[in-house]
């Protein structure tokens, strides 16, 4: 375990910080809050609920282990573990229920969990030694993936009423979850015969193959409340991919920004889609798709950009190269204006991750030197609202941690 050097000057600046920053153009002012840690040097964010609770993981005192947390009402609540040394938080719903994975007693296995009413519940597995709970919906259903008997494969699952249900596959070896809505519908990707993979929609007990746009493979990346699924599919000849929107009956090609390919990364409940596409200059640009039109969002002055998420207001977040292409910064695109989020967070060397909720709050992880800190940015006067976003109501605080897997995810992302 790496021990982080505590730099008092940095911590004195970060701990408990809550102050107003000047935003650009449309954004007005923001309140920035450093969420602190569970006693260790660093903390990381992995999700935010629609009412502003934040889930993630933090080093504990002595920097000897990681533990999941949920932050709300000014308190970072550690979620504990399933008896092992570490846990990790994947997400949290508006009721304060959280999901993730934890080492079991003796670090013998890694199991998905649901944290609810102050207790961490072991969800078990589909017969193997591993499971991970990645999504929780508004009614407390959980989706994720688990190893099967003999750890022969990984299958997507949905958990509810005390039962973990194997969603199976489309005839191949493994399946994976991409999203879960409040109706209990699951979107994901499954292996299919012939060493292929296909996007699926699971509803009413059936895994449906969503097909392709003419190529051999497709992949789902998200689902909204209406059961619309987004992802990307190979085109005829399998040399290019295009983003798609499945509306319940057919897979619609979203086209491109003039280049050869496009990819989706998120969808909101209005059916608006974001992602990135090659332009006619074969450069990646973030896009916003609405009403049948794919709009180039542009960049922060650099060559390339990529959108990663969209909320119910149509606000888009993503990353863009800045002038000179020397670095990538996170952006918020709102009302036709792209704002540099890194500029809203002076004092951080970089912003590692960013998430947005329907209230327009931004939660993420900032880096200063070798330290990482979870933060929350709240707009003081959100677009379309005459008042500030309130603190979430008194809800159960939850959290999650799974050090090994989450660290490997960060390392893959950096690579």
| pLDDT at position 297 over 50 | yes
Q: What is the pLDDT, as a whole number, of residue 14? A: 28
* CATH class name, domain 20-414: mainly beta
> Which tens digits make up the pLDDT trace of 317-355?
999 999 999 999 999 999 999 999 999 998 899 999 999
Q: What is the pLDDT, as a whole number, of residue 392? A: 31
Average pLDDT of the chain is 88
Instruction: Tell which wins on pLDDT, 382 or 198.
Output: 198
pLDDT band at 19 (very low <50, low <70, confident <90, very high): very low
> Which tens digits make up the pLDDT trace of 394-409?
222 222 233 333 333 3
Q: What is the pLDDT, as a whole number, of residue 38? A: 98
Q: Who's near 8: CB < 8 A, 6+ residues apart? A: none
Query: In angstroms, rounded to a whole number, what is the distance separating the alpha carbons of residues 354 and 317?
Result: 8
Q: What is the pLDDT, as a whole number, of residue 414? A: 37
Provide, rounded to the nearest whole percent, the portion of the chain with pLDDT above 90.
84
Instruction: Tell which wins on pLDDT, 17 or 86.
Output: 86
| pLDDT at position 5 over 70 | no
Burial 122-131 (b: 16+ CB within 10 A, else e): ebbbbebebb
| pLDDT at position 23 over 60 | no
Q: What is the pLDDT, as a whole number, of residue 251? A: 98
Indicate the DSSP class of residue 336.
T
Q: Which of 1-15, 203-217, 298-312 has the lowest mean pLDDT?
A: 1-15
Provide, rounded to the nearest whole percent, the portion of the chain with pLDDT above 70.
85
| pLDDT at position 410 over 90 | no
State the average pLDDT over residues 170-198: 98
Parse the chain into domains and list their residue ranges: 20-414
Query: In angstroms, rounded to a whole number, what is the distance separating the alpha carbons of residues 198 and 316?
Result: 27
Block residue for tokens 């990135």 = 276
Query: In angstroms, rounded to a whole number, what is the distance separating the alpha carbons of residues 291 and 371?
Result: 43
State the average pLDDT over residues 26-49: 91
| pLDDT at position 377 over 90 | yes
Tokens of 206: 């059936």
Q: What is the pLDDT, as a whole number, of residue 226? A: 97
Q: What is the pLDDT, as a whole number, of residue 28? A: 66
Query: In angstroms, rounded to a whole number, what is the distance separating the alpha carbons of residues 9 and 116?
Result: 37
Counting beta carbons within 10 angstroms of the beta carbon of residue 281, is it exposed (0 to 12), middle (13 to 18) or buried (19 or more)? Answer: exposed
| pLDDT at position 174 over 90 | yes
pLDDT band at 381 (very low <50, low <70, confident <90, very high): low
| pLDDT at position 186 over 60 | yes
């Amino acid at each position: 375990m790496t021990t982080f050097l505590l730099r008092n000057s940095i911590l004195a600046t970060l701990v408990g910080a809550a102050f107003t920053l000047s935003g650009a153009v449309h954004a007005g002012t923001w309140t920035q809050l450093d969420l602190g840690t569970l006693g260790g040097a660093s903390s990381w964010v992995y999700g935010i609920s629609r009412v502003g609770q934040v889930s993630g993981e933090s080093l504990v005192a002595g920097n000897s282990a990681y533990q999941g947390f949920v932050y709300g009402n000014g308190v970072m609540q550690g979620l504990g573990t399933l008896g092992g040394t570490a846990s990790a938080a994947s997400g949290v719903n508006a009721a304060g229920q959280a999901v993730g994975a934890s080492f079991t007693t003796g670090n013998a296995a890694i199991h998905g969990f649901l944290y609810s009413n102050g207790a961490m519940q072991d969800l078990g597995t589909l017969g193997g030694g591993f499971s991970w709970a990645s999504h929780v919906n508004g009614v407390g259903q959980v989706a994720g993936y688990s190893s099967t008997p003999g750890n022969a494969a990984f299958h997507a699952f949905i958990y509810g009423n005390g039962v973990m249900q194997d969603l199976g596959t489309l005839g191949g070896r493994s399946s994976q979850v991409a999203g879960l809505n409040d109706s209990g519908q699951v979107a994901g990707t499954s292996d299919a015969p012939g060493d292929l993979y296909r996007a699926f929609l699971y509803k009413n007990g059936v895994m449906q193959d969503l097909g392709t746009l003419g190529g051999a493979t497709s992949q789902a990346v998200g689902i909204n409340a209406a059961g619309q699924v987004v992802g990307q599919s190979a085109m005829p000849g399998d040399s290019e991919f295009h983003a798609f929107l499945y509306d319940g009956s057919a897979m619609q090609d979203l086209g491109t920004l003039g280049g050869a390919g496009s990819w989706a990364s998120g969808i909101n409940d209005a059916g608006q889609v974001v992602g990135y596409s090659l332009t006619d200059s074969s450069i990646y640009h973030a896009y916003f798709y609405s009403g049948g039109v794919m709009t180039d969002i542009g960049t922060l002055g650099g060559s390339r950009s990529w959108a990663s998420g969209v909320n119910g207001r149509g606000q888009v977040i993503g990353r863009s190269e800045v002038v000179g292409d020397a670095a990538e910064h996170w952006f918020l695109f709102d009302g036709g204006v792209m704002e540099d989020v890194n500029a809203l967070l002076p004092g951080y060397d970089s912003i590692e991750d960013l998430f947005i909720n329907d209230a327009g709050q931004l939660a993420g992880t900032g880096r200063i030197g070798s330290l990482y800190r979870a933060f929350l940015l709240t707009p003081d006067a959100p677009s379309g609202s005459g008042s500030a976003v309130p603190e979430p109501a008194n809800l159960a605080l939850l959290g999650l941690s799974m050090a090994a897997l989450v660290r490997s995810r960060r390392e893959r992302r950096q690579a």
